[in-house]
Amino acid sequence: MESTIRVRFAPSPTGPLHIGGVRTALFNYLFAKKHGGTFVLRVEDTDQTRYVANAEQYIVDALNWCNIPFDEGPGKNEKYGPYRQSERKDLYKKYADILIEKGWAYYAFDSSEQLDFHRKNHEEQGKTFIYNWHNREKGRLVNSLVLSKEEVQQKIDAGENYVIRFKTPQDETLLMNDEIRGTIKIETNTLDDKVLYKSDGMPTYHLANIVDDHLMKITHVIRGEEWLPSMPLHVLLYKAFGWEAPKFAHLPLILKPVGKGKLSKRDGDKLGFPVFPLEYTNEQTGDVSRGYKEDGYFADAFINMLALLGWNPGTEQELFTLEELVQVFDLKRVSKSGAKFSPEKTNWFNQQYLQTKSDEELTKLYIPILSKKGTSKDEKYIEKVVSLIKERAVFVSDFWSLSDFFFQAPTSYDEKAVKKAIKDDTKEVLENVIGLVKSVNDFTTENVQNTIKSWIVSNEIGFGKVMMPLRLALVGALQGPDVFEIIEMIGKEETISRIEKAIETLL
């Protein structure tokens, strides 16, 4: 038996998918999967002036990378297709006509110049021009509410431009329910008569959205807060058609990391983080926008981060698999207020997820980086390196800077480290260490460590006096994993060679 829960993600293909849009898709996906429902992708491409050719494929690729693929949509399980609004435009006129017949809509022939005149005239009087019950039937505006049927038909036959406007009811109090925000009260007298249909044969978002949600049997409309002002019109449209309205839930905005307002691409450019899931190339300008995938973020870390922007599980838990998110997600725990985006927290999530990846998996991601550096080693060797350095990494791309000394001798030495580690007797100390290293036959971490530490203790030398210059010789800096692990990994000959070079270079 098919679940009755059906949700949709309905982006416009006007450019790359912003992470705010991804979060909307994610919350729809989680809600659908929790209730055994269907997640629909519908492409709302009625605005042909802003249409971008590669944007739809980008949306599909982004959802797939995030591991939240749609169940129904363009080219996939087209049960209620087509799923591109541009391919459904013939049916919208039929529904616009139904509204006219029922007295819920009317033709308006006002030119843009006429409307501009009215706006300016109102501004001069300190008023705001609204096309609604105030003026739609007073004869100042040109519409089918004041014209005869014959006059209307003559204008249409003559090819005059027109729009079809919704006739907002007068003197009504509209009580609406939002699953997140509760009861919302609106006086219909404050609403304008929105355009539903244009004479170019294309519907506006409002008409197409309602018709498609009804025909696709959408039960819950989960969308961004920016659509909240459209909710009264949409509720009234359902009433006008005599259809049962879906349940509405308006998600809070994702806010800038600093300052006020909605997160934008400009914020990412300014502060150095991506705002799109995948890298995007504008085919017209050639401009490239950074993506989380290409910047080295794991998809599961990215999704985990997004889920907690505006929603909380009611516990202290922060790390969730997608399956766990599905189990615990609840619209009642979505916040009404905006959620501030944090680049630092996003990096923290990626670091946490990196630690959960197996050494084998991370090694496969590291090998291409090593190839670009012109170096290669046995896969088991690389895996061992990864195990020693991964806890200090945020991204796999950090691996090289954390482990280059496992693959090549240092070509320079950190100046601050040199000042700290090199003393008057360092040359003698390192020469003794060379002798100790040469004396170890079974060359293991434990044996090298025991040999050098025993010598330090028996000669009552400070550990730092030996270990700091030794690390500097091997790594080129005073950082990295256990020195004796490094020595075993690079081998006896390379260890001696590096110490000798450090003595020659620094002492």
Active site amino acids: 265
Q: How far apart are alpha carbons 375 and 369 in whole angstroms?
A: 9
Q: How far apart are alpha carbons 106 and 100 in whole angstroms?
A: 6
Is the bond preceding 82 in cis, omega lying within 30 degrees of 0?
yes
Helix H or strand E segment including 58:
helix 55-65
Is 407 in a helix, a strand, or coil? coil
Beta strands in 78-138 (DSSP E): 105-108
The long-range contacts involving 428-432, CB below 8 angstroms and separated by at least 24 positions, are: 429/461, 429/465, 429/466, 429/469, 430/469, 430/470, 430/473, 430/499, 430/502, 430/503, 430/507, 431/503
| Backbone phi and psi for residue 491, each to the nearest 5 degrees, phi listed first | 95, 165
Q: What share of the chain is helix, strand, coil (3-state, %, to 5)?
A: 50, 10, 40
Measured over the CA atoms of residue 234, residue 240, residue 241 and residue 242, the dihedral's sign is positive
Q: How far apart are alpha carbons 111 and 163 in whole angstroms?
A: 10
Q: How far apart are alpha carbons 423 and 421 in whole angstroms?
A: 6
Alpha-carbon separation of residue 83 from 16, 86, 217, 248 (angstroms)? 19, 9, 13, 21
Name beta bridge partners: 289.
280
> Helix count (H) and strand count (E) of the chain?
20, 13
Alpha helix ranges (H) inside 357-458? 359-372, 379-389, 399-403, 415-421, 426-439, 445-458
Is 492 in a helix, a strand, or coil? helix
Q: In what order do the strands lie in the sheet containing 182-187?
A: 38-41, 6-9, 220-224, 247-251, 173-178, 182-187
Name beta bridge partners: 40.
8, 72
> Which amino acid would we find at residue 399?
F
Retrieve residue 342's tokens. 């944090």
Beta strands in 297-352 (DSSP E): 339-340
